[in-house]
Amino acid sequence: MGSLGISSRLGTHPGPFSLFVAITIGADLRADGFGENPFYHCLVAESLPGPGESQAGPCVVGYGLYYFIYSTWKGRNVYLEDIYVKPEYQGQGIGSKIIKKVAEVALDKGCSQFRLSVLDWNKRAMDLYKALGAQDLTEAEGWHSFRFEGEVMRKLAGK
């Protein structure tokens, strides 16, 4: 295997990730992330072919999808909505590299916090986040996450 790289894919990008987006999700995700006013940004981890390997070009092995939020208590924040590394590439530090890059972006943008959520069954991810220094807000502060969606949102909005 060749080298692994993490790169930002901000704005329109004709490379492997935009192809991945087009195949798996469709026009909405592409427009929301790569349009004129993106709702999110994405970091892509790629495996680059090593010397003598026949791979045509970089291969996407993981990604981190994030966006900016605001806290009335802490100001600018970044929220890592989704992080994924292909199973055959897990355990090689790719997830950690993505998280570290999001932290770098957050600091560069003047953010005071970097937030993310994880499902309670994903102990491996929780262990990684804690090992990297994340604080579990459920344990520490008792925060609970809620959401409104679909029909409930329409009812709240009177639509």
Name the residues annotated as catalytic: 129
Other CB atoms within 10 A of residue 38 CB: 15
Token pair recorded at residue 89: 């590439």
Other CB atoms within 10 A of residue 48 CB: 14
As a whole number of angstroms, the distance between CA 142 and CA 136 comes to 9
As a whole number of angstroms, the distance between CA 96 and CA 1 comes to 19
What contacts 94, CB < 8 A, 6 or more positions away? 4, 6, 45, 61, 62, 85
The helix (H) or strand (E) run that includes residue 61 is strand 59-71
State how beta strands 113-116 and 75-85 pair. parallel
Token pair recorded at residue 128: 């990684």
